[in-house]
């Protein structure tokens, strides 16, 4: 399985999924203080349609938030919809 990589700077970051010879998919976020991540964009090319790549990106964001004791504010419509589908992620959802 292809790994999701994390790239980040002091103020923002992105999770990247890419298979050899295929375009990259990403989920970007901004850092709001030390304990908050604002997911602001999910970009999954048509090449991955129906493969669950967006959900895998979101799952990794949630796993990292739990591990690092951070909250997520899902401004991206896809991320917000995923939170609605996963009440078990409420522990990392910023209220």
pLDDT at 66: 98
pLDDT at 95: 80
pLDDT at 1 over 80: no
Q: Residue 68 belongs to what domain range?
A: 4-92
7-38 confidence digits (pLDDT tens): 999 999 999 999 999 999 999 999 999 999 99
Q: Cβ distance 92 to 71 under 8 Å?
A: yes
Count of domains for the chain: 1
32-85 confidence digits (pLDDT tens): 999 999 999 999 999 999 999 999 999 999 999 999 999 999 999 999 999 999
Q: Cβ distance 25 to 45 under 8 Å?
A: yes
CATH number for the domain that contains residue 18: 3.40.630.30
H or E element at residue 54: helix 53-67
Instruction: Tell me the whole-structure pTM to 2 decimals.
Output: 0.94
């Amino acid at each position: 399985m292809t790994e999701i990589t994390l790239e980040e700077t002091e103020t923002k970051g992105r999770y990247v999924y890419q298979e050899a010879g295929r375009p990259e998919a990403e989920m970007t976020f901004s850092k709001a203080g030390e304990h908050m991540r604002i997911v602001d964009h999910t970009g999954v090319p048509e090449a991955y349609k129906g493969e669950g790549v967006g959900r895998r990106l979101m799952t990794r964001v949630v796993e990292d938030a739990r591990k690092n004791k951070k909250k997520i504010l899902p401004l991206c419509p896809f991320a917000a919809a995923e939170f609605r589908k996963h009440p078990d992620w409420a522990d990392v959802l910023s209220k």
